Copies of this chain bind each other. A is one copy, B any other.
Amino acid sequence: MSPGHTGVTTSGAQDPVIVCETPQDECGVRDVLDRLGDKWSMYVMVELTAGTLRFKELQRRIHGDVSQRMLTLTLRRLERDGLVTRTVYATVPPQVEYALTDMGRSMSHLLKSLADWSIAHRPAIAEARGAYDESHP
Protein backbone atom coordinates (compact mmCIF):
# COMPACT_ATOMS: atom_id res chain seq x y z
CA MET A 1 0.00 0.00 0.00
CA SER A 2 1.27 3.44 -0.87
CA PRO A 3 2.85 5.35 2.00
CA GLY A 4 1.14 8.69 1.59
CA HIS A 5 -2.38 7.49 1.56
CA THR A 6 -4.83 9.48 3.54
CA GLY A 7 -8.56 9.76 3.81
CA VAL A 8 -9.16 6.11 3.18
CA THR A 9 -12.64 5.31 2.03
CA THR A 10 -14.23 1.91 1.86
CA SER A 11 -12.24 1.46 -1.32
CA GLY A 12 -9.32 -0.90 -1.15
CA ALA A 13 -7.58 0.82 -4.05
CA GLN A 14 -5.53 3.98 -3.82
CA ASP A 15 -3.80 4.19 -7.18
CA PRO A 16 -4.95 3.41 -10.68
CA VAL A 17 -3.93 -0.03 -11.85
CA ILE A 18 -2.99 1.23 -15.27
CA VAL A 19 -0.62 4.08 -14.66
CA CYS A 20 0.64 6.37 -17.41
CA GLU A 21 3.14 9.18 -17.37
CA THR A 22 0.46 11.70 -18.14
CA PRO A 23 -3.27 11.29 -17.64
CA GLN A 24 -3.85 12.07 -21.30
CA ASP A 25 -1.48 9.36 -22.41
CA GLU A 26 -2.88 5.95 -23.07
CA CYS A 27 0.39 4.12 -22.30
CA GLY A 28 -0.20 2.18 -25.45
CA VAL A 29 -3.00 0.22 -23.86
CA ARG A 30 -5.78 1.84 -25.81
CA ASP A 31 -3.51 2.03 -28.79
CA VAL A 32 -2.96 -1.71 -28.83
CA LEU A 33 -6.19 -3.02 -27.48
CA ASP A 34 -8.38 -1.06 -29.82
CA ARG A 35 -7.38 -3.79 -32.24
CA LEU A 36 -9.33 -6.17 -30.04
CA GLY A 37 -12.24 -3.81 -30.16
CA ASP A 38 -13.03 -4.65 -33.73
CA LYS A 39 -15.11 -7.66 -34.54
CA TRP A 40 -12.58 -10.01 -36.11
CA SER A 41 -8.95 -9.40 -35.05
CA MET A 42 -9.15 -11.67 -32.07
CA TYR A 43 -10.47 -14.57 -34.13
CA VAL A 44 -7.83 -14.09 -36.79
CA MET A 45 -5.04 -14.08 -34.22
CA VAL A 46 -6.32 -17.18 -32.48
CA GLU A 47 -6.83 -19.15 -35.66
CA LEU A 48 -3.35 -18.27 -36.83
CA THR A 49 -1.88 -19.84 -33.69
CA ALA A 50 -2.39 -23.17 -35.46
CA GLY A 51 -0.06 -22.15 -38.28
CA THR A 52 0.14 -20.41 -41.62
CA LEU A 53 -3.15 -19.93 -43.42
CA ARG A 54 -4.26 -18.66 -46.78
CA PHE A 55 -6.86 -15.96 -47.07
CA LYS A 56 -9.72 -18.22 -48.04
CA GLU A 57 -8.81 -20.86 -45.47
CA LEU A 58 -8.74 -18.24 -42.75
CA GLN A 59 -12.11 -16.97 -43.84
CA ARG A 60 -13.59 -20.45 -43.63
CA ARG A 61 -12.33 -21.02 -40.12
CA ILE A 62 -13.69 -17.86 -38.64
CA HIS A 63 -17.11 -18.04 -37.10
CA GLY A 64 -19.81 -15.61 -37.98
CA ASP A 65 -19.06 -15.29 -41.67
CA VAL A 66 -16.49 -12.56 -41.89
CA SER A 67 -16.88 -10.68 -45.14
CA GLN A 68 -14.04 -10.45 -47.60
CA ARG A 69 -13.78 -6.76 -46.99
CA MET A 70 -13.54 -7.04 -43.22
CA LEU A 71 -11.03 -9.88 -43.32
CA THR A 72 -8.83 -7.84 -45.62
CA LEU A 73 -9.05 -4.76 -43.43
CA THR A 74 -8.39 -6.80 -40.31
CA LEU A 75 -5.35 -8.51 -41.78
CA ARG A 76 -3.91 -5.22 -43.04
CA ARG A 77 -4.15 -3.68 -39.60
CA LEU A 78 -2.57 -6.68 -37.93
CA GLU A 79 0.19 -6.67 -40.51
CA ARG A 80 0.77 -2.98 -39.95
CA ASP A 81 1.07 -3.56 -36.22
CA GLY A 82 3.74 -6.19 -36.80
CA LEU A 83 1.57 -9.02 -35.50
CA VAL A 84 1.02 -10.83 -38.77
CA THR A 85 3.12 -11.42 -41.87
CA ARG A 86 1.74 -11.47 -45.38
CA THR A 87 3.51 -13.49 -48.05
CA VAL A 88 2.45 -13.25 -51.67
CA TYR A 89 3.31 -15.96 -54.19
CA ALA A 90 3.28 -14.87 -57.81
CA THR A 91 1.16 -17.79 -58.98
CA VAL A 92 -2.03 -18.05 -60.97
CA PRO A 93 -4.37 -17.92 -59.25
CA PRO A 94 -2.64 -15.78 -56.63
CA GLN A 95 -1.74 -17.32 -53.30
CA VAL A 96 -1.25 -15.29 -50.14
CA GLU A 97 -0.21 -16.74 -46.83
CA TYR A 98 -0.68 -15.21 -43.43
CA ALA A 99 1.21 -16.15 -40.29
CA LEU A 100 1.88 -14.73 -36.86
CA THR A 101 5.12 -12.95 -36.15
CA ASP A 102 6.96 -13.76 -32.92
CA MET A 103 5.31 -10.76 -31.34
CA GLY A 104 1.96 -11.86 -32.71
CA ARG A 105 2.43 -15.30 -31.21
CA SER A 106 3.24 -13.89 -27.82
CA MET A 107 0.01 -11.91 -27.93
CA SER A 108 -2.13 -14.68 -29.33
CA HIS A 109 -1.37 -16.87 -26.33
CA LEU A 110 -3.12 -14.33 -24.16
CA LEU A 111 -6.02 -14.12 -26.56
CA LYS A 112 -6.34 -17.88 -26.60
CA SER A 113 -6.60 -17.82 -22.82
CA LEU A 114 -9.41 -15.32 -23.09
CA ALA A 115 -11.21 -17.41 -25.68
CA ASP A 116 -10.90 -20.47 -23.45
CA TRP A 117 -12.13 -18.49 -20.50
CA SER A 118 -15.14 -17.37 -22.50
CA ILE A 119 -16.09 -20.86 -23.50
CA ALA A 120 -15.66 -22.14 -19.96
CA HIS A 121 -17.73 -19.37 -18.41
CA ARG A 122 -20.45 -19.13 -20.97
CA PRO A 123 -22.99 -21.04 -18.89
CA ALA A 124 -22.32 -18.91 -15.81
CA ILE A 125 -22.67 -15.73 -17.81
CA ALA A 126 -25.87 -16.88 -19.44
CA GLU A 127 -27.25 -17.66 -16.02
CA ALA A 128 -26.19 -14.28 -14.66
CA ARG A 129 -27.92 -12.53 -17.54
CA GLY A 130 -31.08 -14.47 -16.96
CA ALA A 131 -31.08 -13.61 -13.28
CA TYR A 132 -30.37 -9.97 -13.97
CA ASP A 133 -33.12 -9.67 -16.54
CA GLU A 134 -35.63 -11.25 -14.19
CA SER A 135 -34.79 -8.96 -11.32
CA HIS A 136 -34.75 -5.83 -13.49
CA PRO A 137 -38.17 -5.41 -15.10
State the A residues within 8 Å of B (CB).
9-18, 20, 23-33, 36-39, 42-43, 46-47, 49-54, 57, 61, 63-64, 79-83, 97, 103, 106-107, 110-115, 117-119, 121-122, 124-129, 131-133
Select from chain B the residue with minimum beta-carbon distance to A61.
Answer: B16
Please give, as numbers and ranges, the residues of chain B lying within 8 Å of A23 by CB-CB distance: 63
B103 touches A47 (CB 8 A): no
A81 touches B28 (CB 8 A): no
How many angstroms between the C-alpha atoms of A126 and B26 in the bound complex? 13
Q: Which of A37, A43, A61, A63 has the most CB of B within 10 A?
A: A63
B17 touches A49 (CB 8 A): yes
Q: Which of B17, B25, B33 contacts A50 (CB 8 A)?
A: B17
Number of identical monomers bound together in the oligomeric complex = 2
How many angstroms between the C-alpha atoms of A118 and B111 in the bound complex? 12
Please give, as numbers and ranges, the residues of chain B lying within 8 Å of A57 by CB-CB distance: 9, 11
Q: Which of A47, A118, A129 has the most CB of B within 10 A?
A: A118
B63 touches A43 (CB 8 A): no
A117 touches B125 (CB 8 A): no
Please give, as numbers and ranges, the residues of chain B lying within 8 Å of A126 by CB-CB distance: 28
B121 touches A107 (CB 8 A): yes
Select from chain B the residue with minimum beta-carbon distance to A115.
Answer: B29
Please give, as numbers and ranges, the residues of chain B lying within 8 Å of A32 by CB-CB distance: 117-118, 121-122, 125
